[in-house]
Amino acid sequence: LPGVESCQNYLFRYGRHPLMELPLMINPTGCARSEPKILTHYKRKQFVHSKSSQYRRLRTEWKNNVYLARSRIQGLGLYAAKDLEKHTMVIEYIGTIIRNEVANRREKIYEEQNRGIYMFRINNEHVIDATLTGGPARYINHSCAPNCVAEVVTFDKEDKIIIISSRRIPKGEELTYDYQFDFEDDQHKIPCHCGAWNCRKWMN
């Protein structure tokens, strides 16, 4: 319906989600690659074993966990569609997995196109580029007091970035995580608008 993007209480029901057709917010400062929480080898092995069954469920049930709406933080945001208990796998951050060298080249191309850049570092060698082929998880905003964390999970010998609730999240609350950007000099600082009580004022 016309004007649906300005309706705060709009709930999508049928067809392709109209808000998903909107362009992502332009990031004028260029690319700032989000960092997942990296586990030690021992903890990671334990984590993968205990979470593999949850990930299988997540692949088919994630649409029941979230919905897209306007954010008080910035642009669009992702919200809890139901009460989410602590340690719930909420959604996978998907996109094209590329090497760092390719990510650097794409970053320059996106900057020339004045396009918002959405990349998530998996490890020292690989990055998920969600700029053109990403899913709804790319709409999750940053917060200095987040209710989710991004963690690396290995499934079928492939690393996945999973957004996991770090506390109980009531239905209707916006999902956030800490982007953990590298610190930059004053010239390249990105202001933070999360509004949290402990806001660092800058995202990097």
Measured in Å, how far apart are the chain's first and last C-alpha atoms?
38
- Please list the pLDDT of the chain residue by residue as tens digits (204 residues): 555 555 555 555 555 555 555 555 444 434 455 666 544 444 454 454 467 788 888 888 899 999 999 999 988 899 999 999 999 999 999 889 999 999 989 988 988 888 878 888 888 888 899 888 888 998 999 999 999 999 888 888 888 899 999 999 999 999 999 987 765 556 667 888 888 899 988 876
Q: Using a CB cutoff of 8 Å and minimum separation of 24, what contacts does 7-10 make?
A: 8/69, 8/70, 10/69
Q: Give the CATH number, domain containing residue 176.
A: 2.170.270.10
Say if 7 falls within a structural domain.
Answer: no
Say if 176 falls within a structural domain.
Answer: yes
Is the separation of the CB atoms in 5 and 70 below 8 Å? yes
Residue 54 structural domain: 32-188
Say if 49 falls within a structural domain.
Answer: yes
| Count of structural domains within the chain | 1
- Residue 127, both tokens: 């990055």
Say if 197 falls within a structural domain.
Answer: no
Say if 1 falls within a structural domain.
Answer: no
Q: Is 193 helix (H, G, I), strand (E, B) or coil?
A: coil
Say if 96 falls within a structural domain.
Answer: yes
Beta carbons within 10 angstroms of residue 161's beta carbon: 23
Q: Is 152 helix (H, G, I), strand (E, B) or coil?
A: strand
Say if 102 falls within a structural domain.
Answer: yes
Say if 53 falls within a structural domain.
Answer: yes
